[in-house]
A and B are shown apart, each in its own frame.
Chain A
Amino acid sequence: ETGVTQTPRHLVMGMTNKKSLKCEQHLGHNAMYWYKQSAKKPLELMFVYNFKEQTENNSVPSRFSPECPNSSHLFLHLHTLQPEDSALYLCASSQDILSNEQFFGPGTRLTVL
């Protein structure tokens, strides 16, 4: 238990569906991250939030839309995804963006049909 929870743990959706991934951290951290983990590829950083403000968007397609209503919660809204978007989506948090230690959640395994 790392103090970072993610729901749902598994999600299957069609290309026309709209769904959202949720991440919550109970560590009092101020920075939160979304990563994508695909088979045979390194973890890809998608978005970074620091004190609820987005500080990084690594050229992520607009069909992925993050939302950070407060420092403890992070959402990833999904719309019109493609099969190649199927992956494990990991949320992480750290004390702030200067911290070297990130705590990861268990991930949401997403399958796009």
Chain B
Amino acid sequence: TQLLEQSPQFLSIQEGENLTVYCNSSSVFSSLQWYRQEPGEGPVLLVTVVTGGEVKKLKRLTFQFGDARKDSSLHITAAQPGDTGLYLCAGPRAGNQFYFGTGTSLTVIP
């Protein structure tokens, strides 16, 4: 059983389409982070959400933290090939370490 479940596991869309990926847990987190990992690279932090219901925007990416702080979503508007990568969510655990989800692998086809 994974503490952080991400869905879908794989997503392949055409350039210009919109998409939403999800990160869900049965546990409450004080914050959640989203990372993007491009092929051949390590994960890069995109955003940290800390308040229940919080919405953060990063250009075409919109991140939302659930009211109960158990889930988060990432919405991408007008996806571009450069958005291709593995999107990971992560939440803190004891000792300032992080649980990571299994990720959503996104492919944007030109």
Task: Give A residues with C-beta under 8 Å from B.
Answer: 2, 4, 40-43, 45, 48, 55-56, 90-92, 97-107
Contacts and interface: CB of A to CB of B under 8 A. Distances in A.
A94 B106 CA distance: 27
B70 to A, nearest CB: 17
Contacts of A102: 45, 98
B97 A100 contact: no
Given A2-B42, A105-B42, A106-B41, A40 B95 contact: no
B51 interface: no
Determine the interface band of chain B, counting residues with CB < 8 A from chain A.
20 to 34
Is the contact region of chain A dominated by helix, strand, or loop, or is it mixed? loop
B44 A104 contact: yes
Nearest to B102: A42
A106 B95 contact: no
A99 B97 CA distance: 10
Interface in B7-41: 31, 33, 40-41
10 contacts: A42-B2, A42-B103, A45-B98, A48-B95, A97-B96, A98-B96, A100-B48, A100-B96, A101-B48, A106-B40
A42 B45 contact: no
B100 A43 contact: yes
Contact of A45 (B2, B31, B40, B97): B97
A56 B97 contact: yes
A106 B97 contact: no
Contacts of A100: 31, 33, 48, 92, 96
A95 to B, nearest CB: 11
A97 B44 CA distance: 18
Contacts of A105: 42
A42 to B, nearest CB: 4
A97 B42 CA distance: 19
Contacts of A45: 97-98
